[in-house]
Structure 1
Amino acid sequence: MDGLRWTGFESVAPELAAKGRALLTNFGVGLGYLATVRKDGGPRVHPFCPVFHNGGVYGLILPGSPKCWDLQRDGRFAVHAFPLEDRDDEFYFTGRVARCDVEVDAVRAAFLSQADTTTSSGDEICFEFLVERALLAEYPKRGEGPGWPPAYTKWTLADRNSGAVDS
């Protein structure tokens, strides 16, 4: 396992992790875009509901879906938060997934408790998304000053021993 669980990321970059999580869960349930790597090496982008549960960030992915094939074959990913309504702040993190069959029922229950839905196919494959790199771009509220450049904060797995977070 190369990346950090979300709690590990929180321990080495607490402010970045808190702001990232707030952006990913801004609408109550986790919402973002999941980018995966196709078999031919190209990118594939999907809407995605990350689930924060028990110190990790998880995804419930339907078996047989293109994103499931991509994650099983090549576990690399990027998750990007949906934009806010009043500003253009951005957060994304990248890394690799780990399949987690043990947590699937608990993650499904956590998702259903957060989501405004009662639907689940019940046969999703559960992946934990491990953090290797993260980037936050913070902009002023719309109409409150120059919008460019944003204030960037980044973290990489190589920074974990130094505690460095670049701003």
Structure 2
Amino acid sequence: MTVNWAALTEAEPDFARTAEERFGAFTHHVLATLRKDGSPRTTGLEVRFLNGELWLGMMPDSLKALDLRRDPRFALQANPGEGQSMGGDVRIAGRAIEVEDPALRAAYTEEAEPPESSEPFHLFRTELTEVVRTYVEDDKYLVVQIWQPGRPLRTIKRT
């Protein structure tokens, strides 16, 4: 089962807000895609949360865009920043669906902050399969929160 970002926001608003804040702390994050031979490719990427969707924009014919056209599975990790990760580590997995509808692309370009260039680009909306947050609590516990569509947020705490 896959859903968009709005489904997570509706099901777990605090968790979704924490994830958005984590991604909002830095501009560049790490995207993992699959190459033709099935091996992983990691590259830098900017993301946007807009109108209930998590969007991935890419330069024309970039290798990551071509990877996603061939196999839409992806993993996305928030930039950990310098030293200890502020607010924990957030990872998102799912499928990236290319948006080719001119009206939807124009709306994305107009509503993005800062505004996107009108130059050619690939635009993907995401369908989520999992969002995970890992953080340290009280300098003692490793806490892992896992959300998957159709399931409640699970929290695992280890010493």
Shared fold, TM over 0.5: yes
Q: Would you tell me which structure has more strand in proportion to its own residues?
A: 2
Q: Which one of the candidate residues 119, 133, 139 is aligned to 1:145?
A: 139
Query: Using the alignment, how far apart are the partners of 1:32 and 1:91 within structure 2?
Result: 11
Runs of 4+ residues over 3 Å off in structure 1 = 84-87, 118-121
Matches within 5 A, 1:71-150: 71-85=68-82, 87-88=84-85, 89-102=88-101, 103-111=104-112, 113-114=113-114, 120=117, 122-140=119-137, 145-146=139-140, 149-150=141-142
Query: Using the alignment, how far apart are the partners of 1:81 and 1:41 within structure 2?
Result: 23
1:86 CA displacement: 6.8
1:100 CA displacement: 1.5
Render the CA deviation track for 1:63-91: whole Å, top value 9, x for unaligned. Answer: 21110110000000011001144742100
Q: Secondary structure at the match of 2:77?
A: strand
**Number of residue pairs matched by the alignment:** 151
Contact 1:104–1:125 (CA under 8 A) maintained in structure 2: no
1:14 aligns with 13
Contact 1:79–1:93 (CA under 8 A) maintained in structure 2: yes
Query: If the length of structure 2 is used for normalisation, what is the TM-score?
Result: 0.84
Q: Which one of the candidate residues 38, 50, 59 is aligned to 2:47?
A: 50
Query: If the length of structure 1 is used for normalisation, what is the TM-score?
Result: 0.80
Work out the percentage of aligned pairs sharing the same amino acid: 24
Any unmatched runs of 5+ in structure 1?
none
Any unmatched runs of 5+ in structure 2?
none
Contact 1:6–1:55 (CA under 8 A) maintained in structure 2: yes
